[in-house]
Protein backbone atom coordinates (compact mmCIF):
# COMPACT_ATOMS: atom_id res chain seq x y z
CA UNK A 1 0.00 0.00 0.00
CA UNK A 2 1.24 3.47 -0.74
CA UNK A 3 0.93 5.50 2.42
CA UNK A 4 3.03 8.40 3.63
CA UNK A 5 2.59 8.72 7.34
CA UNK A 6 4.04 10.52 10.35
CA UNK A 7 3.90 9.27 13.91
CA UNK A 8 3.91 12.01 16.56
CA UNK A 9 3.87 11.63 20.32
CA UNK A 10 5.96 12.24 23.41
CA UNK A 11 8.97 10.10 24.27
CA UNK A 12 7.63 6.93 25.89
CA UNK A 13 4.25 6.96 24.13
CA UNK A 14 5.16 3.75 22.29
CA UNK A 15 5.97 5.21 18.86
CA UNK A 16 8.81 2.80 18.10
CA UNK A 17 6.80 -0.29 18.98
CA UNK A 18 3.74 0.80 17.06
CA UNK A 19 5.86 1.98 14.10
CA UNK A 20 7.26 -1.55 13.68
CA UNK A 21 3.78 -3.05 13.77
CA UNK A 22 2.31 -0.54 11.35
CA UNK A 23 5.24 -1.04 9.02
CA UNK A 24 4.41 -4.78 8.87
CA UNK A 25 0.70 -4.21 8.46
CA UNK A 26 1.01 -1.55 5.76
CA UNK A 27 4.11 -2.84 3.97
CA UNK A 28 5.99 0.44 4.25
CA UNK A 29 9.37 1.10 5.89
CA UNK A 30 9.37 2.60 9.38
CA UNK A 31 11.99 5.33 9.46
CA UNK A 32 13.09 6.40 12.94
CA UNK A 33 15.41 9.40 13.07
CA UNK A 34 16.35 8.42 16.65
CA UNK A 35 17.40 4.93 15.47
CA UNK A 36 19.43 6.36 12.59
CA UNK A 37 21.17 8.77 14.97
CA UNK A 38 21.86 5.97 17.49
CA UNK A 39 23.35 3.75 14.76
CA UNK A 40 25.61 6.62 13.70
CA UNK A 41 26.66 7.29 17.30
CA UNK A 42 27.48 3.58 17.74
CA UNK A 43 29.67 3.65 14.64
CA UNK A 44 31.11 7.06 15.51
CA UNK A 45 30.45 8.43 12.04
CA UNK A 46 30.76 12.19 11.46
CA UNK A 47 26.97 12.45 11.74
CA UNK A 48 27.03 10.46 14.99
CA UNK A 49 29.74 12.70 16.44
CA UNK A 50 27.71 15.80 15.61
CA UNK A 51 24.48 14.38 17.06
CA UNK A 52 25.70 12.73 20.23
CA UNK A 53 26.04 15.67 22.60
CA UNK A 54 22.53 16.87 21.79
CA UNK A 55 21.06 13.42 22.28
CA UNK A 56 22.86 12.86 25.57
CA UNK A 57 21.44 16.15 26.87
CA UNK A 58 17.89 15.45 25.67
CA UNK A 59 18.06 18.33 23.18
CA UNK A 60 17.16 18.18 19.51
CA UNK A 61 19.88 17.70 16.95
CA UNK A 62 20.02 20.90 14.81
CA UNK A 63 17.45 21.04 12.02
CA UNK A 64 19.96 21.30 9.20
CA UNK A 65 21.67 18.07 10.28
CA UNK A 66 18.39 16.21 10.78
CA UNK A 67 16.75 17.48 7.60
CA UNK A 68 19.71 16.47 5.44
CA UNK A 69 19.69 12.99 6.96
CA UNK A 70 15.96 12.53 6.32
CA UNK A 71 16.28 13.84 2.77
CA UNK A 72 18.91 11.15 2.07
CA UNK A 73 16.83 8.44 3.70
CA UNK A 74 13.64 9.30 1.82
CA UNK A 75 15.57 9.18 -1.44
CA UNK A 76 16.28 5.45 -0.90
CA UNK A 77 14.28 3.18 -3.21
CA UNK A 78 12.35 1.45 -0.40
CA UNK A 79 10.69 4.75 0.54
CA UNK A 80 9.49 5.51 -2.98
CA UNK A 81 6.02 4.05 -2.45
CA UNK A 82 5.46 5.09 1.11
CA UNK A 83 6.95 5.35 4.58
CA UNK A 84 6.13 5.83 8.21
CA UNK A 85 8.25 8.52 9.84
CA UNK A 86 8.79 7.93 13.56
CA UNK A 87 10.24 10.95 15.36
CA UNK A 88 10.30 13.35 12.41
CA UNK A 89 9.24 16.11 11.96
CA UNK A 90 9.73 17.49 15.47
CA UNK A 91 10.05 21.23 14.79
CA UNK A 92 8.15 23.73 12.64
CA UNK A 93 11.19 24.01 10.37
CA UNK A 94 11.20 20.22 9.87
CA UNK A 95 7.49 20.33 8.97
CA UNK A 96 8.29 22.82 6.20
CA UNK A 97 11.30 20.85 5.02
CA UNK A 98 9.33 17.63 4.79
CA UNK A 99 6.59 19.39 2.89
CA UNK A 100 9.21 20.69 0.45
CA UNK A 101 10.82 17.27 -0.02
CA UNK A 102 7.47 15.65 -0.80
CA UNK A 103 5.99 18.35 -2.98
CA UNK A 104 9.16 18.44 -5.10
CA UNK A 105 8.20 14.87 -6.09
CA UNK A 106 4.49 15.62 -6.39
CA UNK A 107 3.81 13.74 -3.16
CA UNK A 108 1.91 14.50 0.02
CA UNK A 109 1.37 13.09 3.49
CA UNK A 110 -1.73 10.95 3.97
CA UNK A 111 -2.01 11.31 7.73
CA UNK A 112 -0.21 12.23 10.93
CA UNK A 113 -0.94 9.94 13.87
CA UNK A 114 -0.50 11.50 17.30
CA UNK A 115 -0.11 8.87 20.01
CA UNK A 116 -1.20 10.44 23.28
CA UNK A 117 -0.09 9.45 26.79
CA UNK A 118 0.04 11.42 30.02
CA UNK A 119 3.33 12.53 31.51
CA UNK A 120 3.33 10.23 34.57
CA UNK A 121 2.72 7.23 32.33
CA UNK A 122 5.52 8.09 29.91
CA UNK A 123 8.04 8.80 32.67
CA UNK A 124 7.24 5.41 34.23
CA UNK A 125 7.63 3.68 30.87
CA UNK A 126 10.90 5.43 30.08
CA UNK A 127 12.43 4.60 33.47
CA UNK A 128 11.47 0.96 32.88
CA UNK A 129 13.05 1.08 29.42
CA UNK A 130 16.19 2.55 31.02
CA UNK A 131 16.50 -0.56 33.19
CA UNK A 132 15.83 -2.92 30.29
CA UNK A 133 17.81 -1.30 27.48
CA UNK A 134 20.24 1.07 29.17
CA UNK A 135 19.70 3.88 26.67
CA UNK A 136 22.02 6.73 27.71
CA UNK A 137 19.27 9.36 27.36
CA UNK A 138 16.81 7.48 29.58
CA UNK A 139 18.04 8.92 32.90
CA UNK A 140 15.44 10.83 34.91
CA UNK A 141 17.01 14.27 34.37
CA UNK A 142 17.35 13.76 30.61
CA UNK A 143 13.85 12.24 30.36
CA UNK A 144 12.39 15.37 31.98
CA UNK A 145 14.30 17.58 29.54
CA UNK A 146 13.16 15.49 26.55
CA UNK A 147 9.56 15.89 27.67
CA UNK A 148 10.01 19.66 28.07
CA UNK A 149 11.54 19.99 24.61
CA UNK A 150 8.70 17.89 23.19
CA UNK A 151 6.08 20.11 24.84
CA UNK A 152 7.75 23.30 23.61
CA UNK A 153 8.73 22.37 20.09
CA UNK A 154 6.83 19.29 18.94
CA UNK A 155 3.42 19.20 20.64
CA UNK A 156 2.37 22.37 18.75
CA UNK A 157 2.83 20.52 15.44
CA UNK A 158 -0.36 18.57 16.13
CA UNK A 159 -2.35 21.80 15.65
CA UNK A 160 -0.45 22.53 12.44
CA UNK A 161 -1.40 19.15 11.01
CA UNK A 162 -4.96 19.37 12.36
CA UNK A 163 -5.38 22.60 10.41
CA UNK A 164 -4.31 20.70 7.28
CA UNK A 165 -6.88 17.97 7.95
CA UNK A 166 -4.18 15.34 8.48
CA UNK A 167 -4.22 14.77 12.23
CA UNK A 168 -5.44 11.49 13.71
CA UNK A 169 -5.26 11.32 17.53
CA UNK A 170 -5.03 7.92 19.15
CA UNK A 171 -4.87 7.00 22.85
CA UNK A 172 -1.49 5.29 23.30
CA UNK A 173 -2.38 3.72 26.65
CA UNK A 174 -3.49 0.10 26.47
CA UNK A 175 -2.33 -3.29 25.23
CA UNK A 176 -0.06 -3.35 22.17
CA UNK A 177 -2.65 -5.03 19.95
CA UNK A 178 -5.39 -2.76 21.17
CA UNK A 179 -3.39 0.37 20.32
CA UNK A 180 -2.41 -0.99 16.89
CA UNK A 181 -6.07 -1.67 16.10
CA UNK A 182 -7.05 1.81 17.25
CA UNK A 183 -4.47 3.32 14.92
CA UNK A 184 -5.50 1.14 11.95
CA UNK A 185 -9.16 2.06 12.46
CA UNK A 186 -8.42 5.76 12.80
CA UNK A 187 -6.17 5.70 9.72
CA UNK A 188 -8.55 3.83 7.44
CA UNK A 189 -10.38 6.90 6.09
CA UNK A 190 -7.03 8.49 5.16
CA UNK A 191 -5.57 5.53 3.29
CA UNK A 192 -6.79 5.77 -0.25
Separation between Cα atoms, residue 104 and residue 33, nearest integer Å? 21
55 near ligand AMP, judged by CB under 6 A: yes
Q: Which of 22, 61, 74, 115 binds ligand AMP (CB under 6 A)?
A: 61
CB of 88 to ligand AMP, least distance (A): 4
* Active-site residue flag, 25: no
User: What is the 8-class DSSP label of residue 139?
Assistant: S
The residue among 151, 176, 161 whose CA lies nearest residue 9 is 151
Separation between Cα atoms, residue 77 and residue 73, nearest integer Å? 9
Binding to ligand AMP, residues 66-95 (CB under 6 A): 66, 87-88, 90, 94
Strand stretches in 9-52, DSSP E: 30-32
19 near ligand AMP, judged by CB under 6 A: no
CB of 189 to ligand AMP, least distance (A): 27
Q: Which residue in 38, 73, 146, 182 is the catalytic one?
A: 146
Q: Do 114 and 170 meet the contact criterion of CB atoms below 8 Å apart?
A: yes
Q: Which residues are at the interface with ligand AMP (CB under 6 A)?
A: 11, 33-34, 37, 54-55, 58, 60-61, 66, 87-88, 90, 94, 137, 146
Amino acid sequence: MSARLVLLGPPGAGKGTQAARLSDRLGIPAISTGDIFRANVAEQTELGKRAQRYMDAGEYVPDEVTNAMVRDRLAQPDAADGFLLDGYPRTADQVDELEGMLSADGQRLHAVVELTADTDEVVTRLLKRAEEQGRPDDTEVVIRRRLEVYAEQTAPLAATYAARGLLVQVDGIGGLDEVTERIMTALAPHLN
